[in-house]
């Protein structure tokens, strides 16, 4: 199961923060609230892992490997749940330690490393199966173009000019400068694609709990066949919908307008307050549409790649969660490395801890 149950639980907690008053209160409590949210995310991870473990155990018992299980069914199910849940909790703990003591998001880095581990084997298998060096180079070129497109969209943003009024405090003058409010095209990030994929796995998980039902088995096959047009269409719609939904939750135009007003800032030609909030909301709606369509297209791109004869392993790097995670985590880690280098530069600059007086 890996770390995916933790990702699912964390996104569910974030979504609940927009509709449940208790979680909204926790988000406003600062560090103490974040600590409670982290604890609730851990509990949610245990619940999601236990549910998926039960489905996995039932699938093993009644699937093709059922004959190899020689112990009691109940004991096998309980032991499977304990082992898989313990493994997920250990990976979650390891990711949190990397986040606290290292650089970057530990959970994201673990997922990225697991994806990169399959890349050399996938490249070798595709080279062997393609049978033509020119075709293989063409596939690498298309892969590079898709990667470049994902990088451009991930880094793309709309910069809104913000003017700050001048303020005189004592003998100093503050403000009077023009800054920019950056609104990202892909504000939702990669987590929404992971969450959408987790939702697509839910019907298949429930189907494994009813091995004697032909309808449930057919539903399980439908929601696991990523190369089918039906699966791709549903996945595309879910990605577009949740991109809009998550952007509406993560980016609050009213809060941004209020903060800007308190700091004495305004958008040229727009009145502070409600008009500023509506202006930001309209821009978010316009830039989210192409971003959501692009994310949905990238999410189903592996299905198109397999239609052209590319093997399953290498097709996952043509789009989907694999490519989005690789690009997103790499860019985020590079930004944090740059921030740490800048902080160390300032530490060295201010190493003495005192300033020299004038001579």
Count the alpha carbons within 13 Å of 101 in the hemisphere toward its beta carbon: 6
Query: Under DSSP, is residue 173 helix (H, G, I), strand (E, B) or coil?
Result: strand
Residue 64 tokens, joined: 């093709």
Highest mean pLDDT among 2-6, 88-92, 97-101: 88-92
pLDDT in tens, 191-203: 677 777 778 777 8
- Tell me the C-alpha distance between 159 and 271, whole Å: 18
Residues 148-163, mean pLDDT to the nearest whole number: 84
Alpha helices in 156-273, H assignment, sequence order: 191-208, 214-222, 229-250, 253-262
C-beta neighbour count of 135 within 10 angstroms: 14
**Is pLDDT of 171 > 80?**
no
Instruction: Give the pLDDT score at 52.
Output: 82
Instruction: Give the pLDDT score at 177.
Output: 66
**Percent of the chain clearing pLDDT 70 (strictly above):** 87
**Is pLDDT of 54 > 50?**
yes
CA 93 to chain CA centroid, Å, is 19
- Tell me the C-alpha distance between 134 and 142, whole Å: 12
Q: Which 8-state DSSP code applies to residue 190? A: S
Q: Cα angle at 45 between 249 and 92, to 5 degrees? A: 100
Residues 38-52, mean pLDDT to the nearest whole number: 87
Q: Which 8-state DSSP code applies to residue 318? A: G
- Tell me the C-alpha distance between 197 and 52, whole Å: 14
Beta bridge partners of 179: 162
Residues 155-162, mean pLDDT to the nearest whole number: 85
Q: Identify the residue whose tokens are 């991870």.
A: 45
User: Residues 55-58: contacts with CB within 8 Å, 24+ apart?
Assistant: 55/205, 55/206, 55/208, 55/209, 56/1, 56/80, 56/84, 56/208, 57/81, 58/208, 58/209, 58/211
Residues 103-120, mean pLDDT to the nearest whole number: 83
**Is pLDDT of 69 > 70?**
no
**Is pLDDT of 114 > 60?**
yes
- Tell me the C-alpha distance between 15 and 23, whole Å: 9
pLDDT in tens, 315-356: 878 777 788 888 888 888 888 787 777 776 654 444 444 444
Higher-confidence position of 209 and 270: 270
Three-state SS letters, 27-80: HCCCHHHHHHHHHHHHHHHHHHHHHHHHHHHHHHHHCCCHHHCCCCHHHHHHHH
Query: Under DSSP, is residue 2 helix (H, G, I), strand (E, B) or coil?
Result: coil
**Is pLDDT of 30 > 80?**
no
Query: Under DSSP, is residue 338 helix (H, G, I), strand (E, B) or coil?
Result: helix
pLDDT in tens, 212-270: 778 887 887 888 777 788 888 888 888 888 888 778 777 888 888 888 888 778 888 88
Q: Which 8-state DSSP code applies to residue 356? A: P
Report the mean per-residue pLDDT for the chain: 79
Are 167 and 175 within 8 A, CB to CB?
Answer: yes
Provide CB contacts within 8 A for 135, sequence distance 6+.
none
What structural domains and CATH numbers belong to the chain? 1-102 (no CATH), 105-346 (1.10.3370.10)
**Which one, of 271, 272, 280, lies nearest residue 253 by Cα?**
280
pLDDT interval class at 29 (50, 70, 90): confident
């Amino acid at each position: 199961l890996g770390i995916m149950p933790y990702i699912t639980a964390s996104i569910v907690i974030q979504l609940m923060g927009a509709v449940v008053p208790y979680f909204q209160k926790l988000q406003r409590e600062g560090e103490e609230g974040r600590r409670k949210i982290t604890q609730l995310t851990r509990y949610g991870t245990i619940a999601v892992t236990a549910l998926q473990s039960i489905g996995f155990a039932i699938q093993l018992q009644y699937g093709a490997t059922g004959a190899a299980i020689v112990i009691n069914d109940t004991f096998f199910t309980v032991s499977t749940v304990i082992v898989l849940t313990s493994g997920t909790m250990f990976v979650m703990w390891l990711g949190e330690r990397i986040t606290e003591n290292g650089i970057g998001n530990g959970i994201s880095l673990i997922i990225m490393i697991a994806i990169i581990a399959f890349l050399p084997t996938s490249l070798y298998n595709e080279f062997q199966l393609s049978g033509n060096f020119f075709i293989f180079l063409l596939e690498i070129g298309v892969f590079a173009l898709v990667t470049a497109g994902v990088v451009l969209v991930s880094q793309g943003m709309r910069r809104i000019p913000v003017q700050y009024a001048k303020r005189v405090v004592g003998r100093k003058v503050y403000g009077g400068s023009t800054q920019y409010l950056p609104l990202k095209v892909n504000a939702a990030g990669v987590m929404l694609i992971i969450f959408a994929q987790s939702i697509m796995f839910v019907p298949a998980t429930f189907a494994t709990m009813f091995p004697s039902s032909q309808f449930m088995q057919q539903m399980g096959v439908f929601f696991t066949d990523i190369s089918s047009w039906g699966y791709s269409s549903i996945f595309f719609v879910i990605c577009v919908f949740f991109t809009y939904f998550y952007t509406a939750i993560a980016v609050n135009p009213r809060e941004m307008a209020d903060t800007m007003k308190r700091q004495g800032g305004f958008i040229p030609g727009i009145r502070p307050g409600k008009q500023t909030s509506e202006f930001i909301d309209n821009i978010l709606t316009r830039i989210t549409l192409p971003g959501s369509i692009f994310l949905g297209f990238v999410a189903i791109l592996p299905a198109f790649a397999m239609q052209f004869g590319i093997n399953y392993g290498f097709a996952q790097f043509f789009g989907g969660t694999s490519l989005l995670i690789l690009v997103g985590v790499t860019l985020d880690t590079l930004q944090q490395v740059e921030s740490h280098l800048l902080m160390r530069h300032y530490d060295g600059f201010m190493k003495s801890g005192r300033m020299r007086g004038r001579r």
